[in-house]
A = this chain, B = another copy of it.
Amino acid sequence: MKIQKIGILLLLAVSLNCFGQETNMEKKDVAKGEMMVRIAELEIDPNAIDEYLNILKEEAEASVRLESGVICIYPMYQKENPTQIRLLEIYANKAAYESHLLTPHFKHYKETTLKMVKKLKLIEMQAIDPESMAIIFNKLKQ
């Protein structure tokens, strides 16, 4: 594989805030498509939005950096309504998610933002295309 391709992949993984040090078991769960995928929909108190975003950024960054089973936490807000937050969360498996809930950085996030969050909806998702992983992976190896 060319260095250039590796660079592109690094940039993509980094730009998506998606990086961890998955264990072999977690990598297998990802490959088997046993990831836990979720969209979190939040509405934040407009008076607390700046503070909320800072705390969320820290929590998302720490989760991806410190937790082997956190594949991706990708936080966004709606351009037309910046108090509407959406997170794409991908965990290697359910155990990784349960472990995430017990970490100091998640507990800190939860405690400090409790009063800022006006609405919270957690929607379990299924990724549509686990098969294409194999196709693209083969392409990368060529």
A72 to chain B minimum Cβ distance, whole angstroms, is 7
Q: Is A14 an interface residue (CB 8 A)?
A: yes
Contact B11–A60 (Cβ < 8 Å): no
- Known contacts A129-B61, A135-B61; decide if A78 and B16 are in contact (CB<8 Å): no
* Oligomer: number of copies: 2
Query: How far is B10's CA from A31's CA once the two chains are assembled, in angstroms?
Result: 11
- What band does the interface of chain A fall in when counting residues whose beta carbon is under 8 Å from B? 35 or more
* Chain A residues within CB distance 8 Å of chain B: 1, 6, 8-22, 27, 30-31, 35, 37, 39, 53, 56-57, 60-61, 64-65, 71-72, 74-80, 82, 85-86, 88, 90, 123-129, 131-133, 135-137, 139-140
